[in-house]
């Protein structure tokens, strides 16, 4: 049995994967947009490597890097949940919370290097999604 047959064999998995595909695509577009912000600031400040001592560029680099650090783990956990335990609504809700967390974090950190509501609420949302997914997947051991 090849992969397309498996996906169509289990409709809930198919719906989960479609939802996850959209979440992953939106996450990728967000990361590209953040990278373009870094590129724009590099051109503006004529900085090739590092941040050149420019606080705006330093923050843009960190916003992009943080998204790249958090997204793969979260998307992998979402994929594992989508294939094992999650219903489509769970995948969609957790995916939206993840994306909202990334946007809030990026917005908050872009505005200030210090503490901010956006930055804190964004990372809390992302850690909450990671914790929920991790808990669901670890619970598989006890079923």
pLDDT tens across 78-102, in order? 999 999 888 889 999 999 999 999 9
d(CA 126, CA 45): 32
User: In which band, very low, low, confident or very high, does the pLDDT at 8 lie, cut at 50, 70 and 90?
Assistant: low
pTM here?
Answer: 0.86
5-19, 65-79, 86-100: lowest mean pLDDT where? Answer: 5-19
- For 105, other C-beta atoms within 10 Å of its C-beta total 24
The whole-angstrom distance between residue 108's C-alpha and the CA centroid of its chain comes to 16
- Average of per-residue pLDDT values in the chain: 90
| Residue from 33, 20, 9, 6 nearest 87 by CA | 20
Q: What are phi and psi of 87, to 5 degrees?
A: -90, 160
Over 60: is that where the pLDDT of 5 sits? Answer: no
What single-letter DSSP state applies at residue 112? -
Name the CATH topology of 3-142.
Answer: 1.20.120
Cα–Cα distance, 122 to 133 (Å, whole number): 17
């Amino acid at each position: 049995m090849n992969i397309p047959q498996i996906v169509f064999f289990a409709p809930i998995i198919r719906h989960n994967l479609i939802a996850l595909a959209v979440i992953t695509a939106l996450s990728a577009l967000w990361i590209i947009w953040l990278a373009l912000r870094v590129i724009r600031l590099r051109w503006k400040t004529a900085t090739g490597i590092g941040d050149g001592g420019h606080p705006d560029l330093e923050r843009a680099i960190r916003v992009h890097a943080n998204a790249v650090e958090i997204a793969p783990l979260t998307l992998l956990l979402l994929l594992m949940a989508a294939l094992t335990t999650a219903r489509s609504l769970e995948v969609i809700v957790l995916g939206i919370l993840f994306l909202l967390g990334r946007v809030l974090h990026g917005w908050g950190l872009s505005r200030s290097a210090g503490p901010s509501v956006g930055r804190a609420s964004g990372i809390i949302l992302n850690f909450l999604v990671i914790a929920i997914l991790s808990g669901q997947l670890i619970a598989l051991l006890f079923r």
